[in-house]
């Protein structure tokens, strides 16, 4: 999805995107649950439109790929910044650059 597409969504559609992020952040591995769910709950609304779309897209990946990405965020450049934000939130409870 392109950024322009997101800009034409209504507030209720954006809320649906947030609900999708919350649902998809429930993973099959406890490690990933503890990493992505708190971030989705606390930080999703602070993300830019493009980051929100990338986060939902990221959560479509399988658990083993997400686990690898959490250990080597530079593997897929599109998600590097976002994964660093998730890891920072896990470590400090805040994000510096949404």
Q: Is residue 34 part of a domain?
A: yes
Distances (CA, A) of 77 to 27, 37, 93: 22, 22, 24
pLDDT bin (cut points 50, 70, 90) of residue 77 is: very high
How far apart (Å, rounded) are the C-alpha atoms in residues 3 and 26? Answer: 25
Question: How many distinct structural domains can be found in the chain?
Answer: 1
Question: Residue 54 domain-assigned?
Answer: yes
- pLDDT confidence band for 27 (50 / 70 / 90): confident
CA distance 98 to 95: 7
3 state DSSP class of 61: coil
Give the range of the structural domain holding residue 89, as residue numbers without chain letter.
27-98
Structural domain includes residue 47: yes
Inside any domain, residue 32: yes
Whether residue 92 is contained in a domain is answered as yes
Q: Specify if 7 maps to a domain.
A: no
Q: Mean pLDDT throughout 69-75? A: 94
**What pTM, to 2 d.p., does this model score?**
0.81
């Amino acid at each position: 999805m392109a950024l322009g597409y997101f800009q034409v969504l209504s507030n209720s559609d954006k809320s649906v995107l947030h609900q999708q992020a919350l649902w998809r952040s429930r993973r099959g591995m406890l490690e990933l649950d503890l990493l992505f769910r708190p971030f989705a709950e606390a930080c999703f609304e602070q993300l830019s439109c493009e980051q929100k779309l990338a986060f939902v897209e990221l959560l479509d990946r399988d658990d083993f790929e997400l686990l690898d990405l959490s250990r080597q965020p530079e593997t897929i450049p599109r998600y590097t910044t976002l994964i660093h934000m998730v890891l920072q939130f896990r470590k400090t409870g805040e994000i510096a650059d949404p």
